[in-house]
Amino acid sequence: MITVVPVDENKISDHFSKAEEFVFLNEKGEQVKRMANPVLNAEGCPGRAKRFLVELLTVANPDRIVVRDLGGCMLRKLLAADFKVYKTNARSLFEDLNENLFPMTDPEQAHTPGHKHKHEHGKEGGCCGKHKHDHEHHGKHQHRHGGCGCHH
């Protein structure tokens, strides 16, 4: 079984698409591959970069993806690509990732309360022809959204 985990400095990233890298672990928890996050250095539409990330993960064909958190658009993309996605409270790759996993089967489970930024969807304008709507966020991190690129 291959598990993909988004990481920042060998700690499980708090946000999937903002992780520095993705680590691929075998069933023993041993690293078998490491992949830089293509979204971080992407120019242009972030939605396209995120779709490219999903394509790369599809080619790698992991059995599951374990995350601490991710956005609804990204979860929608992963589920549409038939990935099994699980939420964990673990912080370190050295913790047992098989314990306390919660299946994520609905994009509504990806809601992260306390943030504010604009997402753009649809055909009314914005990045990649997306319409705009707001979400509240109150965290300390910055958001660089020009559209999430999801199609709902």
Interatomic CA distance for residues 23 and 148, integer angstroms = 23
Angstrom distance (rounded) from CA 53 to CA 46: 10
Least confident of 33-42, 50-59, 94-103, 118-127: 118-127
Whether the per-residue pLDDT at 61 is higher than 80: the answer is yes
Burial class (CB within 10 angstroms; exposed 0-12, middle 13-18, buried 19+) of 8: middle
For the chain, list the domains and their CATH numbers. Answer: 3-105+112-137 (3.30.420.130)
- Range from 12-16, 98-102, 117-121, 130-134 that averages highest in pLDDT: 12-16
- pTM for this model (two decimals): 0.73
- Residue range 99-130, pLDDT digits in tens: 889 999 999 888 655 444 444 444 433 344 44
pLDDT at 93: 83
